[in-house]
């Protein structure tokens, strides 16, 4: 826009207002240079004000649009099947996990989901071992109802169980005098640890968390369906898990596969 043109722009008007205010305060911008500088300053200020007002407006519109706060991530714990009347008569497998950083939970879930596809006539339940019982007595009561259980247990600290397995572990190891009370249970255990730790997969008595559970389960009348798996996070725990799974499937086939389903063997061996 040229200075002196007939149409006065809003910038000219703003300049005139500021100039008159400046006059009122006794400021003297007599030279043409000062006037041009002022116009430039006012232009910049105007843009800044417009941008600020815009930002504030956008902020208030966004706030009032009623956005829901972000939901916390859903826990990985999924009960693959719930006990319902229609589940009755199906074989049930409970997959427990004792975890701190969720590897054991991830393995338990992967196993439960693959097993669910392999054995459609069985029910797989994924269970955080801490949530299995609110009172210690409930452990006994509930475990007696199990017929097939798989345990994924990690070792922590100076060879201790994870926080979510600590209560179960204490109750279980203190109950040696229970005798053979779990005759109906068959089970398998996979242990998670890291050989870089002094107590690799071990607890206080230089024993392995999962192996303690494994041996005690055995002593209390249960039957192994597979040898305890020792996962080493330092050397490739995923491979250890895969290798243990390969030992587990033939045993689960015997227990869970219907006679007319043997064709599945070929299907899964190819994978
Ligand atoms: C702080 C810390 C302490 C650990 N202590 C041991 C230990 O004493 N013995 C062991 O074998 N592994 C130990 N580990 C390795 C974990 O057991 C291993 O990484 C495991 O896969 C973790 O399983 P999670 O993700 O299910 O908790 C430890 C790991 C961390 C981070």
Residue boundaries of the structural domains of the chain: 10-64, 85-269
pLDDT of residue 78: 45
pLDDT of residue 79: 45
pLDDT of residue 153: 93
pLDDT of residue 101: 97
Ligand 1 within 6 A of CB of 152: no
Compute the C-alpha angle 263/264/268, nearest 5°: 135
pLDDT of residue 85: 45
Task: Please give the Cα distance from 153 to 164 (Å, whole number).
Answer: 10
Task: Please give the Cα distance from 104 to 97 (Å, whole number).
Answer: 6
pLDDT of residue 103: 98
pLDDT of residue 66: 53
**Count of alpha carbons within 13 Å of 234, Cβ hemisphere only?**
8
Ligand 1 within 6 A of CB of 191: no
pLDDT of residue 58: 81
**Could you state, in chain order, the average pLDDT of each consecutive group of 10 residues for the chain (271 residues)?**
48 56 48 67 85 82 60 46 58 96 98 96 96 92 93 86 93 80 87 79 52 76 85 94 97 84 48 41
Ligand 1 within 6 A of CB of 235: no
If 0-12 CB within 10 Å is exposed, 13-18 middle and 19+ buried, where does residue 209 land? buried
Identify the CATH number of the domain defined by range 85-269. 3.40.50.360
Ligand 1 within 6 A of CB of 201: yes
pLDDT of residue 219: 78
Q: Which residue has the tokens 């201790």?
A: 160
pLDDT of residue 34: 62
Q: Is 201 left (phi over 0), alpha (psi -120 to 50) or beta?
A: left
pLDDT of residue 19: 57
Contact 183, 146 (CB under 8 A): no
CB under 8 Å to 65, separation ≥6 — which residues?
none
Q: In this structure, which residue's CA is closest to atom 16 in ligand 1?
A: 193
């Amino acid at each position: 826009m040229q200075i002196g043109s007939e149409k006065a722009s809003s910038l000219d008007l703003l300049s005139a207002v500021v100039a008159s205010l400046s006059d009122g305060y006794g400021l003297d911008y007599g030279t043409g240079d000062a006037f041009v500088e002022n116009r430039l300053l006012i232009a910049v200020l105007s843009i800044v004000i417009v941008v600020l007002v815009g930002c504030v407006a956008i902020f208030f519109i966004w706030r009032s649009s009623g956005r829901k706060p972000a939901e916390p991530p859903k826990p990985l714990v999924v009960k693959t099947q719930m006990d319902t009347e229609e589940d009755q008569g199906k074989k049930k497998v409970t997959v427990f996990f004792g975890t701190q950083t969720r590897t054991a939970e991830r393995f338990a879930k992967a196993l439960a989901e693959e097993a669910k596809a392999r054995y459609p006539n069985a029910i797989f339940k994924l269970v955080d071992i801490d949530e299995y019982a609110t009172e210690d007595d409930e452990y006994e009561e509930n475990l007696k109802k199990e017929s097939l259980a798989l345990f994924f247990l990690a070792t922590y600290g100076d060879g201790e169980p994870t926080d979510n397995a600590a209560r179960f572990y204490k109750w279980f190891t203190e109950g040696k005098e229970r005798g053979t009370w779990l005759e109906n249970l068959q089970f398998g255990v996979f242990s998670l640890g890291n050989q870089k730790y002094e107590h690799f997969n071990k607890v206080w008595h230089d024993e392995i968390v999962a192996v303690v559970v494994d041996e005690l389960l055995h002593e209390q009348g249960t039957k192994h369906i597979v040898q305890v798996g020792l996962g080493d996070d330092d050397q490739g725990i995923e491979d250890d898990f895969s290798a243990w799974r390969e030992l587990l499937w033939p045993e689960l086939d015997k227990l869970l596969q219907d006679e007319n389903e043997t064709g599945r063997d070929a299907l899964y061996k190819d994978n």
